[in-house]
Amino acid sequence: MKRRQTEEAFAPKPNKVISSPPEIDTLEKAFKEVSKFKKVMEILVKNEYCQPSTYNWKDESKSNKGTVIFLLKYLHAQNYYKDNKKLKPKEIKIIAQNSFGIKISESYIKQCKTEDPEIKKIIPPASTI
């Protein structure tokens, strides 16, 4: 009986394929609806956070990096993202770079506690737009 248990322990296991969802690398990919993404971007341009057409963030100072982080987290709280997905620091970093042209370190994302009351005023809940 011991021999059989040993053989089973070392027997090849069937390959288990674990599929992970594709990584979100732009803000548009995170959104449930493209129309809501465009509306949010219009709001950010109108309020002079972003450049028109490129959506590059206008000010790359450390305080505004905090605003980008807060915005990306706040959009989740307002239910804009597919499957109400909460972005990981790595995704925030990649989205900030690819969607706003701003570089933010993951360590800064993890420790950032910035809250921007202006973002709260201008970005309505997803259900209202």
Q: Name the strand (E) or helix (H) holding 99.
A: helix 89-100
Residue 28 banded pLDDT, cuts 50, 70, 90: very high
Q: Does the residue 34 lie in any domain?
A: yes
Q: Does the residue 5 lie in any domain?
A: no
Q: Does the residue 105 lie in any domain?
A: yes
pLDDT tens digit sequence for 101-124: 999 999 999 999 989 999 999 999
pLDDT of 114 reads: 87
Q: Does the residue 2 lie in any domain?
A: no
Number of domains within the chain = 1
pLDDT of 2 reads: 55
Q: Name the strand (E) or helix (H) holding 74.
A: helix 62-77
Rg (CA), the chain: 21
pTM of the predicted model as reported, rounded to 2 decimal places: 0.80
Q: Does the residue 93 lie in any domain?
A: yes
Q: Does the residue 46 lie in any domain?
A: yes
Q: Name the strand (E) or helix (H) holding 60.
A: none
Quote the Cα angle for 87-89-95, to 5°: 70
Contact 86, 75 (CB under 8 A): no
* CA–CA dist 13, 96 (Å, integer): 41
pLDDT of 42 reads: 97
* CA–CA dist 49, 126 (Å, integer): 19
pLDDT tens digit sequence for 33-88: 999 999 999 999 999 999 998 999 997 666 689 999 999 999 999 999 999 999 99
Parent domain of 52 = 25-128
Q: Does the residue 14 lie in any domain?
A: no
